[in-house]
Amino acid sequence: MSEVIRLLPDHIANQIAAGEVIQRPASVVKELIENSIDADATAVTLNIKDAGKTLIQIIDNGKGMSDIDARMSIERHATSKIQDANDLFALTTKGFRGEALASITAISHVEIKTKERGEELGTCLRIEGSKVISQEVCTTPEGTCISVKNLFFNVPARRNFLKSEKSELNHIIEEFIRIAIVHSEVELSLIHNGTKIHSLPAANQRKRIVDLFGQKFNSRLVPIVEETDIVKISGFVVKPEFAKKIRGDQYFFVNHRYFKHSYFNHAVVAAFENLLQPKSHPAYFLFLEVNPAQIDVNVHPTKTEIKFEEEKAIYSILRSTTKLGLGKYNIAPTMDFNRESEFDLPLSYKNQEVKPPTIQVDPTFNPFSSNTSKGSVTKVSPTKFEKSDALTKQGFGTVMPSKADWEDFYTVEEEKDNPSAEQQQIDEQEVDSVGSNIQLHGKYLISQVKSGMLLIHIKRAKERIIYDDLMHNFMLQPIASQTLLFPFEQSLSMKEKIEWENNKTTLKRLGFDWNFKGDELEILGIPNYLSDEVLKFAVDSIIQQLTFQDIDKGELAHTLISELATSAALSGTKKLQKEEVNHLVEQLFQCKEHVYSPNGLKILDTITIDELTKRFK
């Protein structure tokens, strides 16, 4: 009987291992920058071309490697960080399994130039598909420079599964940001196709967050600090009014390592209870320090999922600490029953002299004075206060109060102050009957049809009408723009600025006109469908779509026009007049698709006579 089980060749085994560790160019970036930090580098430069498909180059000023160590570094399970099994429970470094370089060299062309500190010459090692092509002495600066070219050259199926350059670049930037946040002491630079995206000097954590996400974040951050025997927590949460509709800018770190944890995310969200708008997500940058023996970072190849021994206790501490931080900085509402009963004065009034209030009286005022010489009336000095109905009705403020006015002075108009029960009931219902359509709470229209009752969602109907009109105009010519009297300014992160500029052709065609002042976006003109009151909402929505969503180029116009339609429909939320209601219904039914909004939400619904009858049984 022949044997069917046999060992895989090394090059195939390496490619399989590479598939677990290296999923896309961003995976290479993560592994190599972390290696540089483990090598005590104080400055790291990342240079990429074509979103990493052509070149990923990492240059650091770390300890460097000898020629033997450089050769050993590309072997599987070769590491300087683990000596025995006990070291797995005391990890303080990023990498430790010795798979990163071996996996990278298995699927790309790699050149490693490295020199140890204090040495005159370094070594240059070239590898292609796990095969060493050459190793020779070279002149190179202290530290290490690793160039990864033609990623997945021998795994075409994996290369074909890579997404667009924009999408892959976003993944690289996100990995870069995760490392940059937690290692603010390291100077970091990111260059793509010769353009510098980030240039981050060494700084404290707050300054590093502001450098990454824009100056706007400086006033939005609320510090969080707590230290217990189980966990030490530090970092920042963003004020609830700046929460986003799309989950983003949420970062957890443990022992200087980024990780994802839905359970801990729930703890932070729970601390924001009653402070967030519906379907909004808070932003946070939280750093946890835990005894390495009480966590397991080796549960996933990318090490982004971590198991905690004291998970439930950390959840409670994280929630209470976040809630305390929000309350401490007067973000969360609080009640203090032990507070002194004194007046709270602004600081600007603390040292000012107290002035008693004065009453101003016009001594010449006489409501009964008149001039009968020509039948004219002496002008009476106006008062600051409105006259009550009783005073006005009974003669005060008129020319010549009559005797009947004085006799009826104490009569109360009960019908005016106490409307009939029928009228009160109509007011409480807040239902406006407009022609054949009934407007309910300013949100819905109710119309009678043969089968029963037709319900129309007003806001979604507006979205559909505006979307169809915008899309029709967009296909024919650029959408008309209106110039703002006062420019609208918004601070953007470098990533947001790049995405805005990358899509400038579409944005200009949509009617936007702008300039950049550093990281400040200065909008000079907006589509004529938008109003000033919803401009910030519209800009935020567009930026979130461009930055956090992987939108196909063919769908970009649809997505952005849909966001504009949603924003424009928010303006003018007052109740519609009869003509406006009729016009809205007419426009809606002229739309080719009038049942669903551009976002796929239902606009129309019908309640049949039979359904209404059942409700009254």
Domain boundaries, the chain: 10-200, 220-328, 368-415, 455-590
Mean pLDDT of 195-200: 91
Instruction: Work out the pLDDT band at 18, boundaries 50, 70, 90.
Output: low
Of 4-13, 379-388, 409-418, where does mean pLDDT reach its minimum? Answer: 379-388
Looking at per-residue pLDDT, the higher value among 94 and 543 belongs to 543
Q: What pLDDT, on the 0 to 100 scale, is given for residue 180? A: 95
pLDDT band at 193 (very low <50, low <70, confident <90, very high): very high
pLDDT at position 75 over 50: yes
Token pair 């993944």: residue: 171
For residues 426-432, average pLDDT: 42
Residue at token pair 């959408």: 479
Least confident of 133-137, 359-363, 603-607: 359-363
Determine contact, residues 248/548, Cβ cutoff 8 Å: yes
What is residue 587's predicted lDDT score, i.e. its pLDDT? Answer: 86
Question: Does residue 242 contact residue 214 with C-beta atoms inside 8 Å?
Answer: no
Paired residues of 456 in beta bridges: 445, 604
User: Quick check: 224 and 237 in contact, CB under 8 A?
Assistant: yes
Residues 296-316, mean pLDDT to the nearest whole number: 78
**Where does 220-328 sit in CATH, by number?**
3.30.230.10
Classify residue 404 as exposed, middle or buried by CB count within 10 Å of its CB (0-12, 13-18, 19+): exposed
Give the pLDDT confidence score for residue 443 in this predicted structure: 82
Check residue 155 and give its pLDDT: 85
pLDDT confidence band for 121 (50 / 70 / 90): very high
Mean pLDDT of 558-584: 78
pLDDT at 343: 46
Q: Please, what's the largest Cα pairwise distance for the chain? A: 137
Domain 10-200 sits in CATH at 3.30.565.10
Q: Determine the average pLDDT of the residues in 530-540.
A: 84
Residues in the chain: 617
Q: Residue 225 pLDDT more than 80?
A: yes
Q: How far apart are CA 492 and CA 522, in angstroms?
A: 10
Evaluate whether 10-200 and 220-328 have a shared fold: no
**Residue linked to tokens 């990995």:** 175
Task: Answer whether 250's CB lies under 8 Å from 209's CB.
Answer: no
Yes or no: domain 455-590 corresponds to CATH 3.30.1370.100: yes
